[in-house]
Structure 1
Amino acid sequence: MKLRDYQQEARVSIQNEWEKGIQKTLLVLPTGCGKTIVFSKVIEDRVIKGERVLVLAHRGELLDQAADKLGKSTGLKCATEKAEQTSIGSWFRVVVGSVQTMMREKRLERFDKNFFDTIIIDEAHHCLSDSYQRVLSYFENANVLGVTATPDRGDMRNLGSFFESLAYEYTLPKAIKAGYLSPIKALTIPLKLDLSTVSQQAGDFKASEIGTALDPYLESIADEMVRTAKDRKIVVFLPLVKTSQKFTEILNRKGFRAAEVNGDSKDRAEILEDFENDKYNVLCNSMLLTEGWDCPSVDCVVVLRPTKVRSLYSQMVGRGTRLHPGKTELLLLDFLWHTDRHELCHPAHLIAENEEVAKVMTQQIEAAGVPLDLEAVEKTAAEDVVAQREEALAKQLAEMKKRKRRLVDPLQFEMSIQAEDLASYVPSFGWEMGPPSEKQVATLEKLGILPDEIDNAGKATKLLERLENRREQGLTTPKQIRFLEQRGFEHVGTWSFDNAKKLIDRIAANGWRTPEGIVPSEYRGE
């Protein structure tokens, strides 16, 4: 099987991390981009080296899917470690294992601690739980690859407490632009759903209380679906089985062909097949279909299980991002959730680089009243955020001029050199989150940057790397930028060191006044 370019890059990057001695690394691929294919090829590489590999997951569907894709893409067969099934005595070098089974002490003790050389964790955002950690700490010498579709750095920061590096990340916007996933249009439904009384449990909203809060709105939500999505193939995520069943009945009364599936549905496989074959056009579920189920023809997702967990939100939306003949886009219905907290996930969080951009995107989508393409909204929102930053920077610079600081504020430097990646940087892994070292602080100060404003080692490292790259390229220094921008010259960060030096020399020779005939706001260097 020939891999796509990004899949091959991911495969190589993962192997490189392990070769460098980094034991625990992450792969981030959006839902629908072939994460199982990638880790199957990684497994093939390790088996060729003579290793034994364990694929660890928390649901039977994920284990079956992994075994099936591994066989189809590499020809490798698997043994299974789940309930009554055991891999002990098997000839196969790959084992797919249920974490609920593997975590048991008696089960673990059947294996030597060095039995597995490599462990693959499917849906790695679950791996911080005690059950996973028990298995991972038992096989502590194994290389570990975590695979997840988590879309934002908030989840990544949590995963950074276990994983040591991010081997490879392929983003949702890249996948859409390359034509591997469906474009997403978001529409905010103008219903104000009050969640202010809903409490939290295990870091998210309590499902039982969401169900109660949602009940009064179900009829209105169904009416809005008739108005906006009656001809679409829809998956609806709800907080409780009873809410899902009630909403299914309401949708059928409104003219939809709706079905409901849950963990106790005896005819689940039949219902899913009928949905795929268009007997039904709406499928309601209580969080059952977030992982391990695909139906590419789905072109509308309705999230009626509000969450602040990005990985969960991404999994729900991911049920509709795959390509399908005749499908032009995925319609994602969002709601005006009223809550005392502001951490709720919205469509913007699928692609926004940071919370600042996500907030502006959400406001623009809510104001539009029609479906908007997420990528187009992200572009305008990012431009608005940059404009707001520049306005705030102008005020900050005015205050800095009064204080006559000797050193350059990092934000001034980042904006002047147009370094959006530095301005929006958020640390992900353990060492990045710690404070800058004494050496980093001293070097930043020596190079003209105010170190007090840099609060983590990751940002200090990136800033020092950028300064070194600029020196090698012969671009302006922070001190040159500060000197000239204080005198009204703009975008000095894009000038060469030599041009800035010549101008500063002319200003010095003119009694530290700008030479006649030079208009700072229009001057762009020689």
Structure 2
Amino acid sequence: MPNAFELLKNNIEENSKLREPQIEAYRALKEFYQGDFKTNHEREVGIVLPVGCGKSGCITITPFAFKSKRALVIAPGLSIAKQLLKDFNPSTSFYKKCSLLEGNEFPEPVEIRGKLTNRGDLDASDVVITNIQQLQGLDNRWMESLPIDFFDVIIFDEGHHSVAETWVTLKNKFPEAAIVNYSATPERADGQIMTGKVIYTFSVQSAIKKGYVKELTATRLNPTTLKYVRKKDGQEVEVLLDEVIKLGETDADFRRSIVTSKESLDIIVNASIHELEQLRETTSNKKLKIIASALNYDHCIQIVQAYRERDYSADYVHSKENSQKNDKVLQKLDNHELDVIVQVRKLIEGFDHPFLSVAAVFSVFSSLSPFVQFVGRIMRVIEQDSPRSKINQGIVVYHAGSNIAKRWDDFKDFSVADKEYFDQLLPENDFVLDNPTDMERLQPALKYDEKIDIGEQTKVLLDKSALLADDPTAIDALLYLHSAGITGNINDLLQQVEKIPVTKVNKRQAQRQALNDKVKNTAGQIIAKLKINPKVKGMDRSFRNNNFAYVISLINREINKTLNKSPGERHDLNASELDLIDSRFPHIIAKIEHELS
């Protein structure tokens, strides 16, 4: 109906089905519309809500605060746009779910998607939903044809993106429209801050107390002695903990090496599995899972292999993979066929799987925003509105040298509402790895000009710090410890984390599968270097295989030649043969690149 957001009678401010931040954000927007927007001609504001606090619901009620004639809702990607369309669609809408509107009339939603939508659809709409990619590019038909007053409100989901050039162009196209940015953090991955005054925030500690998000615990891996080698001069330098933390903050090569070294990777894997199994035992829920952040494609393969060696079902998603492969992995996750999902910023925004309970940080975050978004993946609750529930616990596992501590500091400095919460990193307990000095020293897979090999790590302590809510009394703290099942003398709570055993057969099978992934990934890199279309034929003189398949066959041929194996015998490779291929792999690739150059 025309002017639906002005004429339809709504039940928002006194609605018991809405969450506190949804009502308060609506009131803040309504006050802004009636005040600064009308009188001072200020047009852009921000709303900051933690993941899981009802941001999508806030977006659906925002046009009512402005009595909008026609609103535009912009998502950063396709998956979020699809979910927002469901929230506006009358049959599945947030309005219907929360009894926001009387009768059977709803605002008319339209999605911009390829050529399915025409101008007549938009003219008949009250709200238009799309992802930013649909409005990009020169001569974009919508940006060219729509009048400058077509929208009077533009709502950006994940509004920290709104400083990007494409988003700014969109704002300039509709100069009179109010702009509302929603985000869990107002900072982009490149450090830029979203524009507009933040008129409402809902703190993490408040969200935890209300039971909207999980209660967080940080487990920091602190090596008391770390030995590393700069291959540039071949000298070994032992580093104490304070120096490890300092290097982690200032030396990018060091940060990358420490999370890709075999020793450090094994420690994070073992610690994350330990935390997962404790949660599973405490809650009697085997569906709880680990999400791991990786640096790059090769790192994904390495991390997945490490978990598989320990008999944990693991897989990865990556933007380099086609959507069909990624969708298949995500379906396995939804079906609870995986224990671990590994990603490189692929599951950051809009991904919702509440059973992710342990965040294992193998990567390095250069700014606040992606780290907060990653941690947000484990913050969605399993039991709604159930604060202090044992199953609503999230654990972040990270290494002291990977610069994550500095990211927490960034969070405290930036978010005033959460400053006290993140200041309260209270020690809970320390426990040591079993026989840490007996850890096997392995060659790390580093690919930097000045490589740093992480050597033997001794006395690796797990410094487990609870991110406690803002409880003013010791009683609340004791209640928390009791609800978490922690009893007895604090000094007696020290415990050992066992190394996760790796059977020879699991290691071999994981290594063999990783080899297949490595071959495909390397073939893609070779094709990219040669600037050749991977899908066409031409490199193979027989014209049987496309270029990508042909390069894969060349790599496999050299692997078979190195091992004196016939095609089809990959499944018979033993551990020593797989180790040999790992050591010879760079030589094999160099030979093939020379042949093709």
Q: Which position in structure 2 is the counterpart of 1:7?
A: 22
Aligned partners of 1:78 and 1:94 also within 8 Å: yes
- In the TM superposition, residue 347 of structure 1 has moved relative to its aligned partner by 10
Q: Is the 8 A contact 1:185 1:371 kept in 2?
A: yes
Contact 1:352 1:358 in 2 (8 A): no
Letter in 1 for 2:213: L
* CA deviations over 1:374-414 (Å, ceiling 9, x no partner): 1259979xxxxxxxxxxxxxxxxxxxxxxxxxxxxxxxxxx
Q: CA deviation at 1:247?
A: 0.6
Q: Structure 1 residues 378 and 371 mapped into 2: Cα distance closer, same or farther (>3 Å)? A: farther
> Is this contact kept in 2: 1:187–1:365, CA < 8 A?
no
Is the counterpart of residue 19 in structure 1 residue 34 in structure 2?
Answer: yes
How many Å apart are 1:346 and its aligned residue?
Answer: 6.5
2: distance between equivalents of 1:331 and 1:350?
22
Which residue of 141, 144, 149 corresponds with 1:109? Answer: 144
Give percent identity, aligned residues only: 19
Superposed displacement of residue 229, structure 1: 2.8
Gaps of 5+ in 1: 381-526
Distance across 1 between alignment mates of 2:65 and 2:422: 43
Do the aligned partners of 1:276 and 1:297 also contact (CA within 8 Å) in 2? no
Matched, 1:81 2:112: yes
Candidates 26, 34, 38, aligned match of 2:54: 34
Aligned to 2:313: 257
Let me know the Cα RMSD of the aligned residues. 3.7
SS at match of 1:234: strand
Conserved in 1, the CA contact under 8 Å of 2:314 and 2:338?
yes
Find the counterpart in structure 2 of residue 143 from structure 1: 178
Post-superposition CA distance 1:72-91 (Å, at most 9, x none): 11354432234444452212
CA distance in 1, matches of 2:402, 2:353: 32
Mapping 1:49-448, distance limit 5 Å:
49=67, 51-71=69-89, 72-74=93-95, 75-90=106-121, 91-107=124-140, 108-150=143-185, 159=193, 162-163=195-196, 165-191=197-223, 214-216=259-261, 217-230=264-277, 231=280, 232-263=288-319, 264-265=321-322, 266-325=324-383, 327-337=391-401, 343-345=406-408, 349=412, 353=416, 361=424, 364=427, 369=462, 371-375=464-468
TM-score normalised by structure 2 residue count: 0.55
Structure 2 distance, partners of 1:249, 1:280, is 14
SS of the counterpart of 1:299? strand
Cα deviation, residue 62, structure 1 = 1.3
Return 350-359 or 259-268, whichever deviates more.
350-359
TM-fit CA distance, 1:342: 7.8
Contact 1:348 1:361 in 2 (8 A): no
AA aligned opposite 1:330: G
Q: Distance in 1 between matches of 2:394 and 2:26?
A: 29
Q: 1:62 to 1:209 in 2, by over 3 A?
A: farther
User: Is the alpha carbon distance of 1:113 and 1:198 closer, same or farther for their aligned partners in structure 2, counting shifts above 3 Å?
Assistant: farther
Q: Label 1:338 to 1:327 Cα distance change in 2 as closer, same or farther (>3 A).
A: closer
User: In the aligned structure 1, how far is the partner of 2:61 from the partner of 2:417?
Assistant: 32
Distance in 2 between the 1:122 and 1:211 partners? 31
Q: Distance in 1 between matches of 2:207 and 2:407?
A: 24
Following superposition, the deviation at residue 25 of structure 1 comes to: 1.0
Partners of 2:80 and 2:429 in 1: CA distance: 36
- Between the two proteins, the alignment pairs up a number of residues equal to 369
Alpha-carbon distance in structure 2 between the residues aligned to 1:209 and 1:198: 6
Cα deviation 1:236-295 (Å, max 9, x = unaligned): 111212211221011110121212122224232332232233211111111100111101
The 1:149–1:366 alpha-carbon spacing in structure 2 relative to 1, beyond 3 Å, is farther
- Give the conservation status (yes or no) of the 8 Å contact 1:351–1:378: no
Q: For structure 2, which runs of at least 5 residues remain unmatched after alignment? A: 1-14, 96-105, 229-243, 281-287, 384-389, 432-461, 474-597
Shift of 1:28: 0.9
User: Structure 1: how far apart are the matches of 2:183 and 2:84?
Assistant: 14
TM, length-normalised to structure 1: 0.62
- For the residue of structure 2 that corresponds to 1:106, the secondary structure is coil
CA distance in 1, matches of 2:222, 2:46: 39
Q: Which amino acid aligns with 2:74?
A: L
The answer to whether the 8 A contact 2:428-2:466 is kept is no
